[in-house]
């Protein structure tokens, strides 16, 4: 079935959660180890993650999850035009100039825009309107990401031509079941591909970053506090202790700061609606999953054990409660995580949800594959 134009599926002027994926040309391993040439390109995964951090801090888009493998990558993005609407004209101009800088430093990093550069955008209402829309446009996020990586890789290899196989694939997630299954599908990509055996060793994934932060915070809590010093040790001033502790906290607990928090019930001091990020490392502080991070990690660990074999281990009461809340049995859940990329075309969700959804402009019906119906039956 031919894919609809992206404008039929999602738009930058509405909140939408989209799973996007792109693959390198001819499925070569241009982001990992090339078995033919023996060259290793793992450092390009670092390029992509660095760009994700930069875009998460500048775009009006939440990065919910990611996985970068040797020949393709997956992202889960949530457009936030409601957050962009709260930004001043100057903030819109500043963020855009950090994404598409006029001036860069010696390392190619964008320099903070000066007033003249800001005024060039602020004083043009039409340009400002276009840029404000682009900041919540998933298409522009992917355009800049893929273009930057392709140009840098071609320059490194002294090559010209295509780096990516085709335009990126995008599937809109319509309901909770699709969102949770897609998040697990993305986070478990390395384990499903048999290049990692544990979540902790699943390099360049969002779940690894969350686990690193969790571990760092745990280690920080277990460190000896100043009050535990022996009487013979010199006691630093309260101000210096606080300064040292703050710096240490920031250093140890920021591995996932560019990712949207997991629990949808994230505490936001009672605020509702768009909740802009307090740190500036991401668009907003709004979560996206109907469960705690502990339950999500527990669900991932259990699912990872089931992927390579048909025999299933027993599910704990906590996991049963999570799946019951999603109205999914274990068989349906495992099928979704194993085959998510093959079960859906333009939109993802339960068959009844997909059938009730129409395309934005042409009001076309979305096709539901027979295999998808069988999974949910």
CATH number of the domain within which 301 lies? 3.30.70.1290
Cα separation, 154 vs 203, in Å, equals: 24
Q: Which two tokens stand for residue 150?
A: 């392709």
Kindly list the distances between the CA atom of residue 226 and the CA atoms of 28, 65, 233, 357, in Å, as whole numbers in the listed order: 53, 37, 10, 58
pLDDT value for 53: 97
What is the per-residue pLDDT across 251-300, written as a single tens digit (0 to 9) for each?
445 899 999 999 986 445 545 578 889 999 999 999 999 999 999 999 99
Banded model confidence at residue 51, pLDDT cuts 50, 70, 90: very high
Note whether residue 21 is domain-resident: yes
What is the extent of the structural domain holding 216? 6-80+136-222+239-376
Q: Identify whether the C-beta of residue 277 lies closer than 8 Å to the C-beta of residue 60.
A: no
Q: At what angle do helices 138-157 and 43-58 cross, to 10 degrees?
A: 150
Give me the residue label for tokens 């668009």.
Answer: 283
Q: What is the tally of structural domains in the chain? A: 1
What is the per-residue pLDDT across 68-91, written as a single tens digit (0 to 9) for each?
999 999 999 999 999 999 999 999
Give me the residue label for tokens 């699709």.
Answer: 178
Q: Which residues of 328-339 are buried (b: 16+ CB within 10 A; e: fewer)?
A: bebebbbbbbbe
Q: Which residues of 362-373 are buried (b: 16+ CB within 10 A; e: fewer)?
A: eeeebebeeebe
| Mean residue pLDDT across the chain | 89
Note whether residue 181 is domain-resident: yes
Kindly list the distances between the CA atom of residue 72 and the CA atoms of 84, 112, 196, in Å, as whole numbers in the listed order: 30, 32, 16
Helix/strand/coil for 124: coil
Which of 1 and 369 is assigned the larger pLDDT?
Answer: 369
Note whether residue 89 is domain-resident: no
Note whether residue 233 is domain-resident: no
Note whether residue 344 is domain-resident: yes
pLDDT value for 241: 41
Helix/strand/coil for 318: helix
Banded model confidence at residue 230, pLDDT cuts 50, 70, 90: very low
Banded model confidence at residue 223, pLDDT cuts 50, 70, 90: low
pLDDT value for 285: 94
Q: Identify whether the C-beta of residue 332 lies closer than 8 Å to the C-beta of residue 323.
A: no
Note whether residue 128 is domain-resident: no
Residues 6+ apart with CB under 8 A from 33: 39, 40, 41, 42, 70
pLDDT value for 229: 47
Note whether residue 12 is domain-resident: yes
Model-level pTM?
0.90
Note whether residue 228 is domain-resident: no
Residues 6+ apart with CB under 8 A from 68: 31, 45, 48, 49, 204, 205
Mean pLDDT of 112-141: 97
Cα separation, 191 vs 207, in Å, equals: 12
């Amino acid at each position: 079935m031919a894919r609809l134009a992206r404008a039929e599926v999602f738009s930058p002027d509405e909140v939408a959660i989209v799973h996007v994926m792109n693959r390198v040309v001819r499925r070569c391993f241009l982001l990992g180890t090339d078995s033919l040439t023996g060259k290793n390109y793992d450092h390009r995964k670092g390029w992509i993650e660095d760009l994700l951090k930069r875009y998460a801090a500048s775009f009006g888009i939440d990065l919910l999850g990611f996985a970068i493998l040797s020949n393709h990558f997956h992202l889960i993005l949530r457009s936030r035009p409601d957050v962009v609407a709260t930004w001043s004209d100057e903030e819109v101009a500043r963020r855009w100039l950090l994404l598409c800088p006029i001036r860069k430093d010696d390392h190619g990093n964008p320099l903070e825009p000066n007033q003249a550069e800001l005024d060039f955008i602020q004083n043009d209402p039409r340009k400002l309107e276009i840029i404000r829309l682009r900041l919540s446009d998933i298409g522009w996020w992917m355009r800049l990401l893929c273009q930057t990586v392709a140009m840098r890789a071609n320059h490194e290899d002294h090559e010209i031509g295509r780096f990516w196989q085709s335009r990126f694939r995008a599937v809109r997630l319509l309901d909770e079941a699709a969102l949770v299954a897609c998040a697990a599908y993305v986070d478990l990509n390395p384990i499903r591909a048999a290049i990692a055996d544990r979540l902790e060793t699943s390099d360049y994934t969002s779940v690894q970053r969350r686990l690193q932060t969790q571990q760092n915070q745990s280690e920080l809590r277990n460190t000896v506090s100043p009050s535990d010093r022996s009487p013979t040790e010199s006691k630093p001033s309260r101000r210096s202790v606080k300064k040292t502790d703050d710096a240490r906290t920031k250093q140890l607990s920021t591995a996932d700061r560019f990712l949207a928090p997991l629990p949808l019930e994230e505490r936001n001091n009672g605020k509702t609606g768009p909740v802009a990020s307090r740190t500036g490392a991401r668009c907003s502080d709004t979560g996206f999953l109907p469960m705690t991070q502990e339950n999500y990690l527990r669900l991932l660990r259990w699912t990872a054990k089931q992927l390579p074999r048909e025999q299933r281990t027993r599910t704990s009461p906590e996991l049963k409660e999570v799946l019951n809340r999603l109205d999914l049995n274990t068989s349906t859940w495992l099928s979704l995580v194993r085959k998510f990329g093959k079960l859906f075309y333009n939109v993802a969700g339960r068959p009844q949800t997909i059938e009730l959804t129409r395309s934005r402009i042409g009001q076309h019906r979305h096709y539901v594959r027979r295999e998808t119906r069988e999974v949910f039956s």
